[in-house]
């Protein structure tokens, strides 16, 4: 009886977290439906005709009508969306209107490149933002704090493409230290791959580093002023232990939040950065497909991107519950 009564409260405490994750999972399908439907509708509002883009400007009206019928573009908008949705359920994202290749294959070829670039930019954001945020919090009100926070504010305001162009001009064209364009897969040559990733990762991760720095500084200042941190100091714990083991851990929630938000921002910013550095990833595929009015490819990329963002949000929720079990 004693064991049963002791185990029951633990079960009740764990259930809210399980329910919270379950609610997140239940909301994935409506979110995906809404996102894909809105993008599908917006694509059909864009001026231009996919059949015209494929057949060329000199195509006859008969040829255009035949091509629209062949591609299914002559059917009602809702019917096209329902047909596409039915294919998604079976794992078929359709075929490219421009090349005739399966959309899933096109995305599979480009996605590892974008994920590699995104991971490198997150490493830059966390690797620069966390030490600077901690340093600024420890030196609150000093000149070094003002310099760091000022640089972080400037970093948030600088556009990725402008920073990328400056980096290319200085380090690639002038100093010739780093390559300006291109990409090498990690599996082919890790060192060359990292060498090509330096500039685009900095261009993509600088804004994230500034965000991490500002948010972590605010969270750390609040934690450092708390009673339990003063208790740790009175017990004789070293400054390094107080900062890295206790203060940083208790600042984990806002840090996890901003990193989760950075994932969606990075995926969106890759469109510009990949075009600037001639990187063959999802971003450059979006630009190419938009120019060609390749609806199935764009729709497939939106679906995959939304899945990545939703998976990241779910992972952040799980991190919340690990860092602070009181969260339901």
pLDDT digits 0-9 by tens, 189-243: 889 999 999 999 999 999 999 999 999 999 888 888 888 788 877 888 887 788 8
Rounded average pLDDT over 236-256: 80
Q: Report all structural domains of the chain as residue ranges with CATH numbers, in order of start.
A: 110-323 (1.10.3720.10)
Specify the pTM. 0.81
Rounded average pLDDT over 85-112: 89
Q: Among residues of the chain, what percentage have pLDDT more than 90? A: 30
- Tell me, what's the pLDDT at 267? 85
pLDDT digits 0-9 by tens, 1-12: 444 444 444 444
For the cut 50, the answer to whether the pLDDT of residue 308 exceeds it is yes
pLDDT digits 0-9 by tens, 108-156: 999 999 999 999 999 999 999 999 999 999 888 899 989 999 999 998 8
| Upper half-sphere CA count for residue 274 (Cβ side, 13 Å) | 24
Stretch among 28-37, 66-75, 159-168 having the lowest mean pLDDT: 66-75
Contact 214, 156 (CB under 8 A): yes
Q: What value does the mean pLDDT of the chain take? A: 83
Contact 303, 311 (CB under 8 A): no
Contact 185, 193 (CB under 8 A): yes
- Tell me, what's the pLDDT at 12? 43
Q: Among residues of the chain, what percentage have pLDDT more than 70? A: 91
- Tell me, what's the pLDDT at 2? 44
Q: Which residues contact 172 (CB under 8 A, 6 or more apart)?
A: 178, 179, 180, 199
- Tell me, what's the pLDDT at 130? 92
């Amino acid at each position: 009886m004693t064991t049963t009564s002791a185990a029951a409260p633990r079960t009740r405490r764990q259930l809210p977290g399980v329910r919270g994750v379950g609610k997140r999972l239940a909301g994935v399908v409506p979110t995906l439906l809404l996102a894909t439907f809105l993008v599908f509708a917006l694509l059909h509002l864009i001026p231009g005709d996919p059949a015209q883009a494929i057949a060329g400007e000199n195509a006859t009206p008969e040829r255009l009508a035949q091509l629209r019928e062949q591609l299914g573009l002559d059917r009602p908008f809702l019917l096209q969306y329902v047909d596409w949705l039915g294919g998604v359920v079976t794992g078929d994202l359709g075929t490219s209107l421009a090349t005739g290749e399966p959309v899933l294959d096109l995305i599979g070829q480009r996605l590892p490149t974008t994920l590699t670039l995104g991971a490198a930019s997150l490493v830059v954001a966390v690797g620069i933002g966390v030490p600077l945020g901690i340093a600024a919090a420890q030196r609150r009100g000093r000149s070094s704090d003002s310099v760091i926070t000022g640089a972080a504010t400037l970093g948030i305001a600088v556009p990725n493409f402008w920073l990328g162009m400056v980096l290319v001009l200085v380090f690639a064209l002038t100093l010739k230290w780093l390559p300006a364009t291109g990409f090498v897969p990690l599996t082919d040559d890790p060192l060359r791959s990292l060498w090509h990733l330096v500039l685009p990762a900095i261009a993509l991760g600088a804004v994230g580093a500034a965000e991490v720095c500002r948010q972590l500084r605010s969270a750390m200042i609040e934690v450092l002023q708390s009673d339990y941190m003063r208790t740790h100091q009175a017990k004789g714990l070293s400054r390094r232990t107080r900062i890295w083991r206790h203060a940083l851990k208790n600042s984990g929630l806002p840090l996890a939040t901003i990193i989760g938000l950075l994932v969606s921002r990075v995926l969106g910013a890759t469109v510009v950065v990949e075009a600037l550095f001639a990187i063959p990833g999802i971003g450059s595929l979006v630009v190419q497909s938009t120019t060609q009015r390749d609806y199935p490819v764009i729709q497939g990329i939106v679906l995959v991107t939304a899945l990545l963002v939703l998976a990241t949000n779910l992972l952040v929720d799980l991190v919340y519950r690990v860092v602070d079990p009181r969260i339901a």
